Amino acid sequence: EVDAKYFRPCEVEQLLGDPTKARTLLGWNPTKTSFPELVRIMVEHDMGFVRKLYLKELLNK
């Protein structure tokens, strides 16, 4: 059971977005990047961030 006082006033069942602006301004197309490629890009970015932090730490010693 859920108490109604915990519901947000504008709670929605389903959220929908329009990717037109991302396509128009950024040339973004979700069908061009596969899920494995997206994961690779995200990991590559995170590893670059970690490398920068590690180098910064080494230089500050």
Identify whether 22 is part of a domain.
Answer: no
Q: Is residue 6 part of a domain?
A: no
pLDDT (tens digit, 9 = 90+) per residue, 6-61?
877 776 778 788 889 888 998 888 777 888 998 999 999 999 999 998 888 888 87
Note the pLDDT of residue 45.
95
26 assigned to some structural domain: no
DSSP-derived letter for residue 41 is H
12 found inside a domain: no
In this prediction, residue 34 carries a pLDDT of 85
Number of structural domains, the chain? 1
Residue 15 gets the label, from left (phi > 0), alpha (psi -120 to 50) or beta, of beta
First vs last C-alpha separation in the chain: 55
pLDDT at 40: 95
- What's the confidence (pLDDT) of residue 13? 77
